[in-house]
C-alpha cells in the first residue's frame, strides 16, 4: 500500500518526474498525492474483496481511511498548495486563474464527498449488507474525482509553476513543504498523520496492507 502510485487511468504524466527532481516542493506534493492515492486504492481493494468473499470487514479500517482522506488534504496538503504554489502563480500570470479556481472549488467538493462517504459508512455499519452498494459506489465516485483532481495539478499546474515561479519563491515553497515543523501545520500535526498512515497500513488486510487477509 505504501508503494501505491496514482493509477495510469488517472493520467499522471512522465515530465512530472523531471519537475520533482528540480523542486523539492513538487516532489513532496507528488508524494502526498501518492499517499492519498494509496489510501483510496486500499479502500477500493477492501470493497472488492468484501463483494467477492462476502462478510463484513473490520470497519475500523474504513474509518481510519476516511479520517486520513478527510483531514490530511484539508489541514496539511491544500493550505500549503494555496499559499506557496497557487498564490505565487497568480501573481505572475492570469493564464491559469480558471484552472486554479477549479482546483480550489474541487477542494471544497472533495470535503463534501468525504462527508457523504462518512454518512454512507455509518449506514453500512448499522444497516448491514443492504447498505453496502451505496457505500461502494460512492467510494468509486470519490476515487474518480480525486484522481482527476491530482491529474489536473500534475499535468497543468506543475509545468506552469516551473515556468513562472522565481528562485526566491521556490526557496520559500521548498522550505515550507520540506520543514518538519511547518508553521501551517506544526510538527505534532504532521507526525499524527504519519502515525495514522502507519496504522492504516498495519490494519489493512493483506496483500494490500500488513493486516490479516480477509477470509
Q: For residue 93, what is the domain's CATH number?
A: 1.20.120.520
Domain that holds residue 84: 25-203
Residues 6 or more apart in contact with residue 88 via CB below 8 angstroms: 164, 165, 169, 173
Q: Give the residue carrying C-alpha cell 526557496.
A: 171
Report the C-alpha gap between 49 and 205 in whole angstroms: 10
Q: Is residue 120 part of a domain?
A: yes
Q: Is residue 183 part of a domain?
A: yes
pLDDT bracket for residue 70 (50, 70, 90): confident
Domain-embedded: residue 13: no
- Asked, for residue 147, whether it belongs to a domain, the answer is yes
Percent of the chain with pLDDT strictly greater than 70: 72
Q: What gap in Å lies between CA 123 and CA 24, rounded to an integer?
A: 42
**Whether residue 7 has pLDDT greater than 60:** no
Average of pLDDT values for 173-183? 70
Identify whether the C-beta of residue 135 lies closer than 8 Å to the C-beta of residue 124.
Answer: yes
Rounded distance, CA 86 to CA 76, Å? Answer: 15
Question: How many Å separate Cα 143 from the centre of its chain?
Answer: 10
The pLDDT, as a whole number, for residue 25 is 92
Residue 63 in any domain: the answer is yes
User: Does residue 101 surpass a pLDDT of 80?
Assistant: yes
Q: Which residue has the higher pLDDT, 53 or 69?
A: 69
Residue 7 is assigned to a structural domain of this protein:
no
Domain-embedded: residue 210: no
Q: What percent of the chain has pLDDT over 90?
A: 36
Average pLDDT, the chain: 79
Cβ(123)–Cβ(134) under 8 Å? yes
Q: Report the domain count for the chain.
A: 1
Confidence of residue 111 (pLDDT cuts 50, 70, 90): confident
Checking if the pLDDT of 99 tops 90, the result is yes
Residue 191 lies in a domain: yes
What is the pLDDT at residue 58? 74
Asked if 68 contacts 196 with a C-beta cutoff of 8 angstroms, the reply is: yes
pLDDT tens digit sequence for 15-32 = 444 444 568 999 989 988
- Proportion of the chain in helix, strand, coil states, percent, rounded to 5: 80, 0, 20
**Cβ atoms 173, 25 nearer than 8 A:** yes
Determine the average pLDDT of the residues in 101-106.
92
pLDDT of residue 187: 54
Give mean pLDDT, residues 125-129: 88
What is the C-alpha separation between 23 and 170, in angstroms, rounded? Answer: 7
Q: What is the pLDDT of residue 182?
A: 46
**Which residue, 49, 63, 42, is CA-closest to 208?**
42
Amino acid at each position: 500500500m505504501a508503494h501505491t502510485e496514482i493509477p495510469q487511468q488517472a493520467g499522471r504524466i512522465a515530465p512530472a518526474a523531471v519537475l520533482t527532481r528540480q523542486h523539492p516542493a513538487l516532489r513532496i506534493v507528488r508524494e502526498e498525492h501518492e499517499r492519498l492515492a494509496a489510501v483510496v486504492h486500499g479502500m477500493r481493494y477492501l470493497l472488492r474483496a468484501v463483494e467477492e468473499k462476502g462478510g463484513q470487514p473490520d470497519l475500523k479500517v474504513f474509518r481510519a481511511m476516511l479520517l486520513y482522506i478527510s483531514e490530511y488534504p484539508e489541514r496539511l496538503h491544500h493550505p500549503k498548495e494555496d499559499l506557496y504554489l497557487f498564490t505565487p502563480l497568480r501573481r505572475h500570470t492570469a493564464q491559469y486563474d480558471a484552472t486554479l479556481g477549479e482546483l480550489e472549488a474541487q477542494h471544497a467538493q472533495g470535503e463534501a464527498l468525504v462527508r457523504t462517504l462518512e454518512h454512507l459508512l455509518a449506514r453500512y455499519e448499522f444497516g448491514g449488507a443492504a447498505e453496502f452498494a451505496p457505500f461502494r459506489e460512492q467510494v468509486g465516485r470519490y476515487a474518480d474525482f480525486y484522481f482527476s483532481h491530482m491529474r489536473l495539478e500534475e499535468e497543468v499546474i506543475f509545468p506552469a509553476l516551473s515556468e513562472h515561479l522565481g528562485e526566491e519563491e521556490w526557496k520559500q515553497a521548498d522550505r515550507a513543504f520540506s520543514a518538519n515543523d511547518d508553521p501551517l501545520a506544526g510538527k505534532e500535526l504532521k507526525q499524527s498523520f504519519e502515525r495514522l498512515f502507519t496504522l492504516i497500513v498495519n490494519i489493512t488486510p493483506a496483500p494490500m496492507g500488513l493486516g490479516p487477509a480477509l477470509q
